[in-house]
Structure 1
Amino acid sequence: MIGSRPNNGWAIWLTFALGLLLSVAPMPAFMEIGRPLWLALFISYWTLYLPHRVGMGSAWLLGVAADVLYGTLLGQNALVLTLVAFLILLLQQRLRMFPMWQQSLVLLVVLGLSQLVQLWLNVLSGSPPPPTLPFLLPVLVSALLWPWMFVALRSLRLRLQVN
């Protein structure tokens, strides 16, 4: 693999576009509170398994796109997704060795920290703070979704030989 040309980078950006679409797709009201953190999950996977292709710069660009899409304070989601990418890069060597359930637990902590930073930024920007416990529910849903996300993205990566 060393010295080979990058292959099928479009698949990475296609999954990021899918993450942006899933993050704004309409859901029933009772499910809206537990919407998974799709962008953070996609960034986590690609940063974990292709750190030479996806990193903090990609996370920042995706975060700015999310800011524009959501109409939030410019740079808010960029900061949060960059934090997720940084933490995953920091733990990358260990995370790849962990079994799936431990990866989910680490991701629970990383995404929990990112949601708390998001909550802090919301309060600093003048938005009324939402209740903290329901604000953290997407973190739990995302951590439970991680094994399925991992299997789907891994099969995509291997089938398309993304490197």
Structure 2
Amino acid sequence: MNRPHYILLPVSPLFIAFSLTCAFMLNLLPWGQWIGVPDFVALVLVFWGIHQPRKVGIGVAFSMGLLMDVHEATLLGENALAYTLLSYLAIMIHRRVLWFPVMTQAIHVLPLLLFAQAVQLVVHLIGSGKFAGWLQFVESAVAIALWPVISSLLLAPQRRAVDRDHTRPI
């Protein structure tokens, strides 16, 4: 209860687009077949769904999901459905999650990411008839370990002062 609460500046829509583009580029790297590499687009969508639900909503999640479907050459709509549900759930809990410290936020985000992966697994199982395996859920644990880093990186531009004053402590 004694942790400081910073008054954040409004986030720039260009920065949101830049962060989503960077997350998409990280997903484009060829490490997608490795076990434990998180879905960076899902992680950034959850972050912005919690912190800026009016700017990054279900439409952005659906568009990013279609882009990921095309990139991964999966069934069209597999990632789009998972990202849309993920964004909806993040927007639903955004007021509650923001009251907690970063590590507790990560615990709240874990079921969302697990649910999105379960949706992808079920759609993939129905579409192809092949079970992808239980090891894909390790990605959510790695994503939760990255949550404090992602939070500090994406909130950093909002924490800077509008006018620089070297005598002000904030």
Q: TM exceeds 0.5? A: yes
- The RMSD of aligned alpha carbons is 2.0
Partner residue of 1:12 out of 13, 16, 25: 16
Distance (Å, rounded) in 2 between the aligned partners of 1:90 and 1:148: 23
Alpha carbons of 1:158 and 1:98: their partners in 2 closer, same or farther (altered >3 Å)? same
2:96 equivalent to 1:105:
no
Partner amino acid, structure 1, of 2:64: L
Partner amino acid, structure 2, of 1:143: I
Distance (Å, rounded) in 2 between the aligned partners of 1:144 and 1:94: 20
Partner residue, 1:118: 120
Partner residue, 1:145: 146
Distance (Å, rounded) in 2 between the aligned partners of 1:27 and 1:62: 19
Question: What TM-score results when the alignment is normalised by the length of structure 2?
Answer: 0.83
The answer to whether the 8 Å contact 2:39/2:139 transfers is: yes
CA drift at 1:115: 0.6
Partner amino acid, structure 2, of 1:66: M
Partner residue, 1:21: 25
1:11-160 matches, cutoff 5 A: 11-27=15-31, 32-132=34-134, 134-159=135-160
Runs of 5+ consecutive residues of structure 2 not aligned to the other structure: 1-9, 163-170
Q: Deviations over 1:99-138 (max 9, x none)?
A: 2121111111110011111100110101411221x11000
The answer to whether the 8 Å contact 1:44/1:84 transfers is: yes
Partner amino acid, structure 2, of 1:68: V
The answer to whether the 8 Å contact 1:68/1:74 transfers is: yes
Q: Percent identity?
A: 29
